[in-house]
Amino acid sequence: MGTIIGVLLLASVEGNLLKIIFAILIIIFSLRMFFENHISFRKLKSAFGIIFGFLGGITGGLLSIDGSILTIFFSNQIKDKQILRSTLIAIFIPVGIWRNALFYFTNVFNTEILKISLFMIPVVIIATIIGSRIYLKLNQELYRRIVAGILLLSGMLLLIR
């Protein structure tokens, strides 16, 4: 539902202010996550999952940044890095397909974007293989810091583009 709202907003509203707000929130969370000496696993109530899912859908449809919002939520819910990684993969694949279908049917997705996307598939596959090999060598703390760094980078890139 959130993705549909986000895609419709993308087609009709300038999302710059929303983009800046989400970028700042992602940066703040990632810095907190990066500089904590230990992970505080305060599980949020399941109602927050619905809220984060809805926000992730809106930001995914509007700004294509659903991954950051969902990673923030699930990194506070799941302690084990293997379960966290598996959960995020299981969510990102169908969400990506759903969002791209909505982009296509609302004419946001054109042939030029399709060509670039198809070109990137082998790059994503190679990066996934490399990442999977590196992942096996990471301890829990280093993995958490890498996730925080990636979130920080995505927040910063969102601010400058």
Mean per-residue pLDDT for 27-45?
72
d(CA 54, CA 59): 9
pTM (global) more than 0.85? no
Cα–Cα distances (Å) from 86 to 13, 83, 91, 146, in that order, read 34, 5, 9, 16
Longest dimension (CA), the chain: 47
Asked if the model's pLDDT at residue 122 lies above 80, the reply is: yes
Mean per-residue pLDDT for 6-13?
60
What local confidence, expressed as pLDDT, does residue 156 receive?
A: 92
CA angle 30, 127, 141 (to 5 degrees): 35
Q: How confident is the model at residue 123 (pLDDT cuts 50, 70, 90)?
A: very high
Mean per-residue pLDDT for 35-47?
64
Which comes out higher in pLDDT, residue 126 or 39? 126
Reported as a single tens digit per residue, the pLDDT across 42-91 is 566 777 888 888 888 777 777 777 778 888 888 878 878 889 888 988 98
- Percent of the chain whose predicted confidence (pLDDT) is above 90: 6
What local confidence, expressed as pLDDT, does residue 77 receive?
A: 82
- Residue 14 φ/ψ region, left for φ over 0, alpha for ψ in the -120 to 50 degree band, beta for the rest: beta
Asked if the model's pLDDT at residue 126 lies above 90, the reply is: yes
Please state, as a whole number, how many other Cβ atoms lie within 10 Å of the Cβ of residue 57.
23
Residue 1 DSSP one-character state: -
CA angle 74, 118, 136 (to 5 degrees): 40
Say how many CA atoms lie within 13 Å of 104 toward its Cβ: 9
